[in-house]
Amino acid sequence: MTTSTGTGRPTRRALRLRVDWTACEGRGMCIELLPELLDTDPWGYPRARDGSGDPEVPVQLAEHARRAVDACPRLALRLHRS
């Protein structure tokens, strides 16, 4: 999310969701918790709907993303600002 406040303050960096693919086993909990962002590929692994490797998480989904990160049984998800 990048917002311009119009007051000359710097915009916030976007929150991005990263997958540790060596840990991911395609359990699919994140896909259920973030259906707006993620889809499933033919083998059960999460795929970003926007086609990117680390999709941007809009501010209204940030809490859901945190929940997905917490729910992953393989601890394969990370959230970071870039």
> Could you tell me the sign of the dihedral formed by the alpha carbons of 52, 46, 24, 44, in that order?
negative
Q: Does 39 bind another protein (CB under 8 A)?
A: no
Q: Does 29 bind another protein (CB under 8 A)?
A: yes
* DSSP element (H, E) containing 63: helix 62-71
Using alpha carbons only, how large is the chain's radius of gyration in Å? 14
The residue (of 4 and 71) whose beta carbon lies closer to another protein is: 71
Quick one: which of 2, 7, 22, 82 contacts another protein (CB under 8 A)? 22
The residue (of 45 and 57) whose beta carbon lies closer to another protein is: 45
